[in-house]
């Protein structure tokens, strides 16, 4: 059976995807060209589908840390496979906290014990994600991206995964967990810590913190939020199950 290829950002995300079974996950670590080359080589050997799976940043108010975005597609680009998307939505949280945006803007799972804020009306016809090659850390840039594209979330892998899926004519899906909200600004140490292959450049991160210690409180908050989001991602991986919920499209 052909595997599902999974595009992730970091190795922890890739391990969560692998645990579902029937997938081959690749962590790009912020290097989109390297990630695409790796996925392309794997897809050439055969793939059942390609999913973008991992953490993301929110671009709109109402999305909280730990919320799960099951996207309709990329802003201005590829559309996610409807059967796969609906199968993902159908695998509800044990606490049945699935929330649907008004006017079909999208669906997400608020974290256990939290009440989901009502998303903004008129945000668009579908839950769209935008993929970028460079980290977008600040609130002003996030707001500008939402205004320009209508996307509700951002990551660094979805656009790469979409291109590979399109070239090989296989289903494509985006399932992401929010790790930073529209009101959060990521500190510089986050950007320099990314390393090709999904690892962490601890030296660069520590040098950044030492050079700009004022960012330490924000770095601590962002790190705790990432841990929360990764725990949610683990639950989501178990809920989606083998091949991350890809239905039998035959």
pLDDT tens by residue, 63-74: 888 888 888 899
SS3 state of residue 232: helix
Q: Which residue matches tokens 């390393």?
A: 195
SS3 141: helix
Q: What confidence category does residue 92 fall into, taking pLDDT thresholds of 50, 70 and 90?
A: low
Taking 90 as the threshold, does the pLDDT of residue 168 lie above it? yes
- Residue 249: pLDDT band (50, 70, 90) is low
Closest alpha carbon to 156 in 7, 23, 51: 7
Mean pLDDT score, 70-80: 89
Q: Mind giving me the DSSP string for 30-77? A: T-HHHHHHHHHHHHHT--SEEEEEEEEEE-STT--TT-EEE-SEETTS
Radius of gyration of the chain (CA): 17
Which 8-state DSSP code applies to residue 97?
Answer: -
Q: Which comes out higher in pLDDT, residue 158 or 90? A: 158
State residue 95's pLDDT score.
35
pLDDT of 46 reads: 95
The 10s digit of each residue's pLDDT in 31-57 is: 999 999 999 999 999 999 999 999 999
Average pLDDT over residues 198-217: 91
Average per-residue pLDDT for the chain: 84
pLDDT tier, 94 (very low <50, low <70, confident <90, very high otherwise): very low
DSSP 78: P
pTM recorded for the entire structure: 0.85
Contact 48, 94 (CB under 8 A): no
Report the percentage of the chain scoring pLDDT > 90: 60
Residue 33 CB contacts under 8 Å (≥ 6 apart), including other chains? none
Does the CA dihedral 24-135-153-97 come out positive or negative? positive
Residue carrying the six token digits 């690892």: 199
The model's confidence at residue 199, banded by pLDDT at 50, 70 and 90, is confident
pLDDT bin (cut points 50, 70, 90) of residue 29 is very high
The Cα–Cα gap between 199 and 123 comes to 35
- Token pair in block for residue 206: 């520590």
């Amino acid at each position: 059976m052909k595997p599902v290829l999974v595009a992730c950002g970091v190795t922890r995300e890739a391990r969560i995807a692998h645990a579902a079974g029937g997938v081959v996950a690749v962590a790009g670590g912020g290097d989109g060209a390297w990630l695409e080359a790796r996925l392309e080589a794997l897809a050439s050997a055969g793939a059942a589908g390609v999913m973008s799976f991992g953490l993301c940043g929110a671009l709109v108010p109402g999305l909280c840390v730990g919320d799960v975005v099951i996207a309709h597609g990329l802003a201005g680009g590829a559309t996610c496979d409807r059967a796969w998307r609906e199968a993902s939505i159908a695998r509800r949280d044990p606490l049945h906290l699935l929330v649907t945006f008004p006017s079909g803007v999208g669906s997400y799972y608020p974290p256990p014990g939290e009440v989901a804020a009502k998303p903004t009306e008129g945000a668009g016809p579908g839950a769209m994600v935008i993929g970028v090659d460079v980290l977008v850390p600040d609130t002003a840039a996030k707001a500008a991206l939402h205004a320009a594209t209508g996307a509700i979330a951002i990551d660094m892998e979805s656009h790469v995964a979409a291109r590979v899926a399109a070239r090989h004519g296989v289903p494509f899906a985006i399932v992401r967990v929010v790790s930073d909200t529209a009101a959060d600004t990521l500190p510089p140490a986050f950007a320099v810590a990314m390393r090709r292959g999904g690892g962490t450049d601890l030296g660069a991160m520590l040098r950044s913190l030492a050079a700009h210690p004022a960012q330490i409180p924000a770095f601590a908050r962002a790190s705790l939020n990432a841990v929360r989001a990764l725990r949610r991602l683990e639950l989501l991986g178990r809920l989606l199950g083998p091949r991350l919920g890809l239905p039998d499209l035959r």
